[in-house]
Amino acid sequence: MNNPQQYTASEDLLQDRVILVTGAGQGLGRTAALTYAKHGATVILHGRKVEKLEAVYDEIEALGKAQAIIYPLDFQDTKDEDYAVLAQAIGQQLGRLDGILHNAAFLHGLSPIENQTLEQWQSILHINLLVPFALTNACLPLLTAAPDASVIMTTSTQGQQPSAYWGSFAVAKAGLEALVKIQADEWDTIPNLRVNALVPGIVNSPQRAKTHPGEVKQSLPQPEDLMPTYLYLMGADSKGVSGQTIFCQGDE
C-alpha cells in the first residue's frame, strides 16, 4: 500500500488473532489496544500499573469484544527468564500469538549528555531497546507457528535525526531501527513473519507531555488519528512488508 495513513480496515481485520501490546495502560498503547480489540483481536494488555490495565480491560469489555488478558510486568529490571515466563503463559492460556506491538517506552527527560548518568543510560537502553529484542526472541516460537505474524517496533524521529538533549533515548531508537532491519533480513525466508519500525510523530501522549510541557494538547494530533497505520501493519494487508520504517504522519 502506498499510503498506510489512508488505510481503511475491515471490521474483522484481526478476527481470532492474539496480539500483545506493551505499554497498554495509557497513551498510544491504550488506544492501539482498544483499536485492535474493536477489529476482532484478543489483546494481551501489558503495563506496570494494574489499575490502568484494568481500566483498559473494562473499556474492551464494554465494547462486547473478545475478553482481553492483563499481564502486569515492570520492564525496568527484567531478565531472559521473565520474558520466557510471559511467552509460556501466552502459549498455555491462548495457544497462539499473531502479533506484538512494542509500545512501552521510558524517558527520564531531556538534558545535556554531560548531565546524564550511566544508570540513566542503562535504564533507557534496557526498556527502549533491549526489551523489544528479548521479548520478541522469547515469543518467536509462537510467532513462527502463526499463519501470519507481525511485529511492530515503535521508534521516533530522534532515531534517524538525533538532536541535542535526547541522549540515550535517541541512541536506543537508532538501535531499534537497526534491529528491525537485521531481524527482517534474518526472517526473509520465513514468509509468515514480518517486522517493521513505526514512527508515530507528534501526537498527544504522556511522553510528549514530558518533553514538551508547554504545548496545548488539544492542538496536537490525537492517538486515534494514527490508528490506520497501526492497523495496516498488524493486519494481513501488510504481508510482505518487512524491515521498513513507516511514518504515521507524513514522511519525516
Amino acid at 200: P
Residue 252: its pLDDT value, please? Answer: 39
| Number of Cα atoms under 13 Å in the Cβ half of residue 243 | 10
pTM for this entry: 0.92
Q: Would you call 157 helix, strand, or coil by DSSP?
A: helix
| Cβ–Cβ < 8 Å for 23, 203 | no
pLDDT tens track, the chain, 252 positions: 678 888 999 999 999 999 999 999 999 999 999 999 999 999 999 999 999 999 999 999 999 999 999 999 999 989 999 999 999 999 999 999 999 999 999 888 888 999 999 999 999 999 999 999 999 999 999 999 999 999 999 998 877 888 888 889 899 999 999 999 999 999 999 999 999 999 997 765 566 555 555 555 666 778 899 999 999 999 999 999 999 999 987 553
Q: Three-state secondary structure along 79-141?
A: CHHHHHHHHHHHHHHHCCCCEEEECCCCCCCCCCHHHCCHHHHHHHHHHHHHHHHHHHHHHHH
CATH of 7-247 among 3.90.226.10, 3.30.70.270, 3.40.50.720, 3.10.105.10? 3.40.50.720
DSSP 249: S
Amino acid at 30: R
